[in-house]
Structure 1
Amino acid sequence: MADAREIGPRRPRTRVLPARGRALISADLHGNFADFEALRRRFEALRAGGDEVHWVLLGDLVHGPSPAARARRPALFDYDDASPELVEAVLELRRRHPDNVHVLLGNHDHGHVGGVHTQKFYDDEVVTLEIRCTRAQRAAIRELFGEALLSAIAPCGLLLAHGCPDDHIRRYADLDDVDLRFEANDPYHRHLLATFTRSYGQRAEVTRRLLAQISEDVAPVQVMVHGHDVDEDGWYSESEHQLSAVIFGAPPAAKRYLEVDLSARYAGASALREGIELRRIHGGDPETAGG
């Protein structure tokens, strides 16, 4: 099923956004097309208003809940898994806006391009998804995730990734040397690949050291913004230097994303204000994605 080859020549796995315009930051869509559509409408509305707008998707675009999970927790999981259609829609959006749509790799995505096969809802979610895909859909999955980034920096002070990595990274550019085939890397690059795609929240002092290293190396960053975790409140912060806006695993009314001013400076998680930067996907905030 999943092709373990690195797709094409080695490509950059990091990006630094410009210090102007706005950025939408969303995580963990897990095949939910309604959530994707709400965010896409917001992205297109901001662009129509003349703003320079970026959209950073923090990984785990695929692998929706099983029928058993939908029945067990309908308030959280009762939606159709549209993973193949969502991947195709993201690819099409990126083709239209290649400099403004940035896809980061999540651990669920990684299984389709050389990573571990996840087992959240099925014994092998990679095989379960690819069996029901057409050949073109499987190719689209490998194209999108084979080209995915491992991290991005928003110059307003945010370090972005799917996981919440530790402080072992030496240089930010070392991520560009990572091979998506886990075993093709040396131990150091295997660690980077694992922590940027699979790690959960770190202790505050570890996150502070990580941010200090990236700040000295590339650009000042004060907050680690990541996905991967779930919270029914729609967001959580373990410390002033870490925040996750939650989509998957939150009820629809609580699902959050970030919308930030790239020319601003956010000194900590508390600077990302409820209803201003930390926004609800499906209504409840001024000019939200769904309302």
Structure 2
Amino acid sequence: MPRSPWWGRKVARLPERGTLIVSTDLQGNYEDYYALKQIYADEEERGNEPVLLLCGDLVHGPGEYFADPARWPDYLGTFYRDRSVDLVLDYAEWIDHAKTVALLGNHEHAHIGGPIVSKFHGDEAAVLDIRLGDDAPRVHDLFRSFPLIAVAPCGAVFTHGAPRATEPDLASFERIRYDGYARTAINDMYEEGTLGALLWARYAEPEHAQALLEAVHEGEGRHAFVAFGHDVVRSGYEKIGKEQICVSTSFGCEDRNKTYLRLDLGARYTSVDDLREGEEIRKLYPKA
């Protein structure tokens, strides 16, 4: 059984104490995944009660064509080979021993009722399922257990995509279903309610983010922020107003720019202005 209590729900309610490590969009980069596990281990050794949050898109990296470094394009960042199978199977075992949870991304959704995702292959989910072989059903069950959002009492909310839509309250989030979108065109997913927006949107207006914060923080949302991934910020992160920060931990970035968040769950963050480089905003590879 997973060590953490957040699996199988649509809302992961994070604890009031500990150190939260937040990452986005690994897309099969096992080296970056391993680096995050090492950060977790270091925090645990120091007694900091770490929690590792992966904000979706753990899988579906560059295809065989880009396995040749000579063909590697600059826009994909530092070269790596897709190890989605190794990553997701390792994570499926590690969750039994670590305080961690992963949010649903659009790439995981493609395996469990979402639309076909074409990035490096015509059907990313079909290709990965073949590679998973007999492990595919187990991985699908894991993906179904991924929450859609995470909420922390420290004033932070986490989603995969930009916070362009919301449910009216946390109870309504729990009623969202992941299945039933296999025939939906990707261009239509942006308008498919809260699920489609939070998996696919790359941008949200301040009022969109504020609506989500108000819904999940129940009256205290005016002094909080949303962190998300999905889009690639080549420099590692971008603050949008006071309510939003887009973070790029892995995919599409050079090693020197890969960024994660380290938050004190016992603190209180009132906006992204409280997030400081070198403190809450950290480099995955500070020596790169």
Task: Indicate the TM-score class for this superposition, using the shorter chain for normalisation.
Answer: 0.7 to 0.9
Specify whether residues 31 and 200 from structure 1 end up closer, same or farther in structure 2 by C-alpha distance, changes over 3 A only. Answer: same
Is the CA contact (8 Å cut-off) linking 2:27 and 2:251 kept in structure 1? yes
Is the CA contact (8 Å cut-off) linking 1:60 and 1:107 kept in structure 2? yes
The yes-or-no answer on 1:73 pairing with 2:61 is no
- Provide runs of 4+ in structure 1 moved above 4 Å: 217-221
Aligned partner of 2:146: which letter?
Answer: A
Q: Aligned residue for 1:253?
A: 256
**Secondary structure, aligned partner of 1:36:** helix
Specify whether residues 57 and 195 from structure 1 end up closer, same or farther in structure 2 by C-alpha distance, changes over 3 A only. Answer: same
Q: Aligned residue for 1:227?
A: 229
**Alignment: residue pair count:** 270
The yes-or-no answer on 1:51 pairing with 2:48 is yes
For 1:110 and 1:77, the matched residues in 2 are separated by 26
Specify whether residues 228 and 61 from structure 1 end up closer, same or farther in structure 2 by C-alpha distance, changes over 3 A only. Answer: same
Q: CA deviation at 1:242?
A: 0.4
Superposed counterparts of 1:172-183, under 5 Å? 172-183=170-181
* Structure 2 runs not aligned, ≥5 long: 1-6, 183-188
Q: Aligned residue for 2:269?
A: 266
For 1:221 and 1:85, the matched residues in 2 are separated by 40
Is the CA contact (8 Å cut-off) linking 2:106 and 2:114 kept in structure 1? yes
Is the CA contact (8 Å cut-off) linking 2:213 and 2:221 kept in structure 1? no
Q: After superposition, what is the alpha-carbon deviation per residue over 1:164-218, rounded to whole angstroms, capped at 9, x for unaligned?
A: 232442112212111210359xx9x951211221122201222123222322268
Q: Give the structure-1-normalised TM-score.
A: 0.86
Q: CA deviation at 1:11?
A: 3.9
Aligned partner of 1:81: which letter?
Answer: D
Q: Aligned residue for 2:152?
A: 154
Specify whether residues 175 and 209 from structure 1 end up closer, same or farther in structure 2 by C-alpha distance, changes over 3 A only. Answer: closer
Specify whether residues 128 and 167 from structure 1 end up closer, same or farther in structure 2 by C-alpha distance, changes over 3 A only. Answer: closer
**Secondary structure, aligned partner of 1:34:** helix
Q: Aligned residue for 2:3?
A: none
Is the CA contact (8 Å cut-off) linking 2:166 and 2:211 kept in structure 1? no
Q: CA deviation at 1:271?
A: 1.1
For 1:153 and 1:218, the matched residues in 2 are separated by 12
**Secondary structure, aligned partner of 2:52:** strand
For 1:69 and 1:266, the matched residues in 2 are separated by 41
For 2:35 and 2:84, the matched residues in 1 are separated by 16
Q: Give the structure-2-normalised TM-score.
A: 0.87
Aligned partner of 1:38: which letter?
Answer: A
Q: Aligned residue for 1:121?
A: 120
The root-mean-square deviation of aligned C-alpha atoms, in Å, is 2.3
Is the CA contact (8 Å cut-off) linking 2:214 and 2:220 kept in structure 1? no
Q: CA deviation at 1:163?
A: 1.3
Identical aligned pairs, as a percentage?
31
